[in-house]
Amino acid sequence: MSPLFLILAIVAIVNCKVYVARKNVPMSVSFEEYNKFWNKTHASPAEYEARYLNFLENAKQIDASNKHSKSIGGSARFGFTQFSDMSTREFKNKYLGLIPKHKSPKTDNQKLIEKRSVQQPAGAIDWVAAGKTTAVKNQAQCGSCWAFSATETVESANLISSGSVQNLSPQEIVDCDTSDSGCNGGDPREALGWVQQQGGLDTDACYPYTAQDGTCASSQCTPSATINNVIPVSADEQSIYNQLTTMPLSICCDASQWSNYQGGVLQGSQCGDSVDHAIQLTGYSPSQGGYWIVRNSWGSDWGVNGFIYLQYGANTCDITSEVTGATA
């Protein structure tokens, strides 16, 4: 591991907000402590009971995921997160809002290659350390991941071209991109095309995020940053790596197993290919056999300061499904 990645790993461990249930205490006590840790309240005894049952179910899933990770020699760790009192269906409805419209078809040969051990690139990439990304954002309980992925791609394109950018407005995309469906989901490549067609994206300061669908108010602001080109990337990991050397990328993944993720490298066998979430690919590390560094939009107190690591070379979580870059 390079000194840079070692430092980043140490910082991540120090900064992560993690609730760890005490051993040998009743689950009812753990749930009380969990609620205090995350400052959660409940409107009624019925809601409390429903959340507690979800908490118990997530405890089973966390235990199974950690056992599987250990059995395959993986480093991924799972535990109680801010989402561990939600059911699988509720989590999907509120946080996984991708409606893929440009999923790249794979040939039989590509599928075979994904199942084999492939040679990992040797060179590390870290666009966060290079200062070409904005801070981790939080989409809250709105299926707007696609709008955040697009917004972050526009921000990074402008940081690369000009060296500076104001935080841009995912809410404008949610409200105004009629080709997509706001908090009910959308596609980041469609959104990038909309930004290009509109001549730019407003700032978040002028058009702030509300985590709900609203009436389009683009006319109240002046676009702050735009893009010149939307760049589809071929559906193989070597092509993705090659493009990542020039820019951060919008990607789409199956994130159904991410809600209780707390750190380590998620292996290809630890998630599926039912693509439901859009995020930003910000880097690659050659350590541990190679892994992608993925920036999420669930706040910096999830995962590794808002990031998740995905095994390279196994098409983990179907990371090759829809990959898009942009230049400004």
Other Cβ atoms closer than 10 A to 134: 19
The residue annotated as part of the active site, out of 158, 252, 277, 305, is: 277
| Amino acid at site 184 | N
Please tell me the distance from the alpha carbon of residue 181 to that of residue 176, in angstroms, as a whole number: 10
Say if CB 148 and CB 317 are below 8 A apart: no
Q: Active site includes 296?
A: yes
Q: Are strands 307-311 and 249-253 parallel, antiparallel or unpaired?
A: unpaired
Establish whether 277 is a catalytic residue: yes
> How far lies 56's CA from each of 167, 182, 225, 325, in Å?
39, 32, 46, 41
List, in sequence order, every residue forming a beta bridge with 253; answer none if it has no partner. Answer: 277
Which of 35, 54, 58, 296 is an active site residue? 296
Task: At 14, list the tokens.
Answer: 């120090």
Which residues partner with 295 through β-bridges?
A: 280, 307
Number of other CB atoms surrounding residue 41 within 10 Å: 7
E strands present in 199-273: 229-233, 249-253, 261-263, 265-266
Q: Give whole-number Cα distances, 120 to 26, 60, 126, in Å.
A: 45, 34, 16
Find the catalytic residue in 142, 145, 183, 253: 145
Contact 80, 62 (CB under 8 A): yes
Please say whether the beta carbons of 83 and 260 come within 8 A: yes
Catalytically active residues are 145, 277, 296
